[in-house]
A and B are shown apart, each in its own frame.
Chain A
Amino acid sequence: QVQLVQSGAEVKKPGASVKVSCRASGYTFTGYYMHWVRQAPGQGREWMGWIHPNSGGTDYAQKFQGRVTMTRDASVSTAYMELTSLRSDDSAVYYCARGAGGSYFDSWGQGTLVTVSS
């Protein structure tokens, strides 16, 4: 079955960067978009962008442009999301989610808690 397994929790200082990984199994990694979504405490979910693992093409939400980079390593079926210049309001649970049908997310990772604190 489809599984997305994310890397563990991170604690970062303001101004630092974080890179979260998402290892896919149970399907052809290069055949589906991978999205990244975050949820800050007490906030709703926020779409950050997607990467197509076959081409490496990306599309980022305007809010994160310039600070986020999504990459992939197809040889290990893993997608990555790096967020730079971290601020306290970047503290959130970050999810990877497989895109399906061009319009929804049919499998999700378990989430990675990123805490930004001095």
Chain B
Amino acid sequence: QSALTQPPSASGSPGQSVTISCTGTSSDVGGYIYVSWYQQHPGKAPKLIIYEVSKRPSGVPDRFSGSKSGNTASLTVSGLQAEDEADYYCSSFAGGPWVFGGGTRLTVL
């Protein structure tokens, strides 16, 4: 059982928007701005796509956006493209350790 709760799956058609939630507690997601999101394609290394709740690293399309409300963080993928089909994981600093979500498999229909 993961410390952060994510839906196991999400899906959308090309061009649509999909939002993936990541629910924690006041000791992690709710207590810090240090929420990050990672994309992982099968057989590949994870890739950072969002850090500090809503910041995008250089090279990450602005179709990816992040937000947070209380103990829940969210990743929104707008204008879905076929290459967005992947596993997505959230992570939060928890005052010393880091905690992760169980991952969400995003399917582009």
Contacts and interface: CB of A to CB of B under 8 A. Distances in A.
A92 B36 CA distance: 22
Contacts of A108: 38, 45-47
B3 A104 contact: no
Contacts of A29: none
Contacts of B4: 44
Contacts of B101: 44-45
Interface string A47-83: 1000000000001011000000000000000000000
Interface size of B as a range: 20 to 34
Contacts of B3: 44
A23 interface: no
B64 interface: no
Contacts of A37: 98, 100
A89 interface: no
Contacts of B103: 44-45
Interface in A97-112: 97, 100-111
A77 B91 CA distance: 26
B48 A106 contact: yes
A103 B36 contact: yes
Contacts of A109: 45
Interface string B82-100: 0000000101010011111
A100 B52 CA distance: 11
Contacts of A102: 34
A103 B52 contact: yes
B30 interface: no
A94 B101 CA distance: 16
A43 B51 CA distance: 23
Interface in B26-76: 32, 34, 36, 38, 44-48, 51-52, 57
16 contacts: A37-B100, A43-B102, A45-B101, A47-B97, A47-B99, A62-B97, A100-B51, A101-B52, A103-B36, A103-B52, A104-B36, A104-B51, A105-B48, A106-B57, A107-B45, A110-B44
Interface of B: 1-4, 32, 34, 36, 38, 44-48, 51-52, 57, 89, 91, 93, 96-103
